[in-house]
Amino acid sequence: MPKVVETQSMLLQVLILVFFVLSASVKNGNAGITSTFIRSEWPSNDIPLDHEVFAVPKGHNAPQQVHITQGDYNGKAVIISWVTPDEPGTSKVQYGVSKKNYDFTAEGAVRNYTFYNYTSGYIHQCLVDGLEYDTKYYYKIGNGDSYREFWFQTPPKINPDTPYKFGIIGDLGQTYNSLATLEHYMQSGAQAVLFVGDLAYADRYMYNDVGIRWDTWGRFVERSAAYQPWMWSVGNHEIEYMPYLGEVIPFKSYLNRYPTPHLASKSSSPLWYAIRRASAHIIVLSSYSPFVKYTPEWEWLQEELERVDREKTPWLIVLMHVPIYNSNEAHFMEGESMRAVFEEWFVHYKVDVIFAGHVHAYERSYRISNIHYNVSGGDCYPAADESAPVYITVGDGGNQEGLAERFRDPQPDYSAFREASYGHSTLEIKNRTHALYHWNRNDDGKKVPTDAFVLHNQYWGSNLRRRKLKKHHLRSVVGRVSSF
């Protein structure tokens, strides 16, 4: 071996050794990773009103801000919403299973509201129900020549082994970073969005600009939300408590614009509800509504958790805005009040994963819980707990407030991965036991898969259930063989 090459290879060996020593010492201290990735980002400014991403569709009174969400408990209905700017027009949806062939009609309702000196357009909401599972539907809305056409795909019927891919987006806003996140999400192949609160950031504006920025956001997300359901949950930017403008009714713009199927899960408020989709049971909570013992949200959650049937929907997912485990300086400890009330249930019912937003960064926890503390006992530290959910914060959609760059040091033992970059996540359910999770960072305009792992189902992962599953498969194989 020539001398130069030899020294180089020795150098390499030393480097490798140093690397292992370093990484071993990191493991001894903290198991988690704080990524030091230096990201390039656009300034956190909202996209100007006259930008093409907010373009108003052509034609008199043409429908705009079209979005859909699941309309029932099991996925055989959608709620279609849109705005007509000039006059009420029709709230009718024509739909069918082949292009331009609209065999069916559903009739919706129209509403409007004011916010300070802003008057909304005519907001149409139409429930389209009795749909077939796993079917592509085409739909048409609007009057005369100004009609517009879209399509969506219904989910497969509830079944424990049905694959399904969800996207998770939070704190989106309407900046160029938001646009990058949205475009990257749309390349992901995911079939529905779980949105973890803080939509438009319109409350950063004053007077009639609040309403105007809700409108631009509706036109902004239409490119995805008109074609696949976005499951909504509320964040603090939806509260819009603005006494200086005479506006004090919480969630006024949000509740007028983003309906949810709360009645289908026996909820008394659109702010918390549940749906089932393919092999997942999704529970949506409101961080900004009363949730302590005996409140409607608490009573409802208690009942809804009892309704979860992991034999039919193995995957139990909870959405909320404020993260319960967060080691960022931003919003530190804000999730403690909800943790004190609900964490025990999340562990008892073996929730698979809890997605939150609020903190403008990405963080993932190990399975941990902190449920042994009582005011007369000192046992108050998060500890490893196989029954606990994984907590994931994806408040990194890209809104105008910028990134939450300051993580607390040292990284707590429960924190597995954290990074202050914009991006989105996907959860790709494979079957009742396995799901693939990805966090995708926005990097120089590209989408880069960054934090990825296999999520093992909490219910079907137990030894007992695994044995049962094996027997079940054996039986179905024997059944198939004996039927020959």
Ligand X SMILES: *[C@@H]1O[C@H](CO)[C@@H](O)[C@H](O)[C@H]1NC(C)=O
**Residues annotated as catalytic (active site), given as ranges:** 331
Residue 208 interacts, among Fe ion, ligand X, none and using kind-specific CB cut-offs from 5 to 8 Å, with ligand X
d(CA 370, CA 328): 18
Among 68, 66, 85, smallest CA distance to 77 is for 68
Question: CB under 8 Å to 380, separation ≥6 — which residues?
Answer: 370, 372, 373
d(CA 359, CA 395): 5
Q: How far is the CB of 238 from Fe ion (least distance, A)?
A: 9
Site for ligand X in 191-250 (CB under 6 A): 207-208
Asked if residue 463 binds ligand X (CB under 6 A), the reply is no
* Contact string (CB under 6 A) for ligand X, positions 41-70, x = contact: ------------------------------
Residue 270 interacts, among ligand X, Fe ion, none and using kind-specific CB cut-offs from 5 to 8 Å, with none
Return the residue of 28, 374, 463, 483 that touches ligand X, per CB under 6 A. 374
* Contact string (CB under 6 A) for ligand X, positions 426-445, x = contact: ----xx-xx-----------
Q: How far is the CB of 396 from Fe ion (least distance, A)?
A: 12
d(CA 434, CA 458): 10
CB of 186 within 8 A of CB of 438?
A: no
CB of 414 within 8 A of CB of 388?
A: no
Count of beta carbons in the 10 Å neighbourhood of residue 475: 10
Cα–Cα separations (whole angstroms), residue 16 to 4, 11, 13, 19: 18, 9, 5, 5
Q: How far is the CB of 466 from ligand X (least distance, A)?
A: 10
123 vs 394 by CB, closer to Fe ion: 394
Q: How far is the CB of 208 from ligand X (least distance, A)?
A: 4
Secondary structure letter of residue 311 according to DSSP: T
Phi, psi of 48 (to 5 degrees): -60, 150
d(CA 193, CA 256): 20
Phi, psi of 303 (to 5 degrees): -70, -40
Residue 198 interacts, among ligand X, Fe ion, none and using kind-specific CB cut-offs from 5 to 8 Å, with Fe ion
Residue 113 interacts, among Fe ion, ligand X, none and using kind-specific CB cut-offs from 5 to 8 Å, with ligand X
Site for ligand X in 110-149 (CB under 6 A): 112-114, 117, 119
Residue 20 interacts, among Fe ion, ligand X, none and using kind-specific CB cut-offs from 5 to 8 Å, with none
Return the residue of 25, 40, 187, 376 that touches ligand X, per CB under 6 A. 376
Q: Is the dihedral of CA 317, 320, 326, 328 positive or negative?
A: positive
Q: Is the peptide bond before 85 cis (omega within 30 degrees of 0)?
A: no
278 vs 403 by CB, closer to ligand X: 278
Q: How far is the CB of 305 from ligand X (least distance, A)?
A: 22
Q: How far is the CB of 287 from Fe ion (least distance, A)?
A: 9
Which part of the chain contacts ligand X (CB under 6 A), choosing from 16-24, 212-220, 301-309, 371-379? Answer: 371-379
Return the residue of 32, 170, 235, 398 that touches Fe ion, per CB under 5 A. 235
d(CA 227, CA 153): 8
115 vs 439 by CB, closer to ligand X: 115
Q: How far is the CB of 59 from ligand X (least distance, A)?
A: 19
Q: How far is the CB of 245 from Fe ion (least distance, A)?
A: 20
Residue 207 interacts, among Fe ion, ligand X, none and using kind-specific CB cut-offs from 5 to 8 Å, with ligand X
251 vs 272 by CB, closer to ligand X: 251
State the number of CA atoms in the 13 A half-sphere of 386 facing the CB: 8
* Contact string (CB under 5 A) for Fe ion, positions 331-370, x = contact: ---------------------------x------------
Q: What is the DSSP string of 36-86?
A: --------S-BPPTTSGGGPPPSSTT--EEEEEEE-SSSSS-EEEEEEESS
36 vs 376 by CB, closer to ligand X: 376
Which part of the chain contacts Fe ion (CB under 5 A), choosing from 150-158, 236-244, 377-385, 444-452? Answer: 236-244
d(CA 226, CA 208): 26
Residue 376 interacts, among ligand X, Fe ion, none and using kind-specific CB cut-offs from 5 to 8 Å, with ligand X
Residue 236 interacts, among Fe ion, ligand X, none and using kind-specific CB cut-offs from 5 to 8 Å, with Fe ion
207: left (phi over 0), alpha (psi -120 to 50) or beta: left
| Bridge partners (DSSP) listed for residue 119 | 114
Secondary structure letter of residue 331 according to DSSP: T
How many binding residues for ligand X (CB under 6 A)?
Answer: 15
DSSP H/E element including 416: strand 415-419
Footprint of Fe ion (CB under 5 A): 198, 235-236, 358
Footprint of ligand X (CB under 6 A): 112-114, 117, 119, 207-208, 374, 376-377, 379, 430-431, 433-434
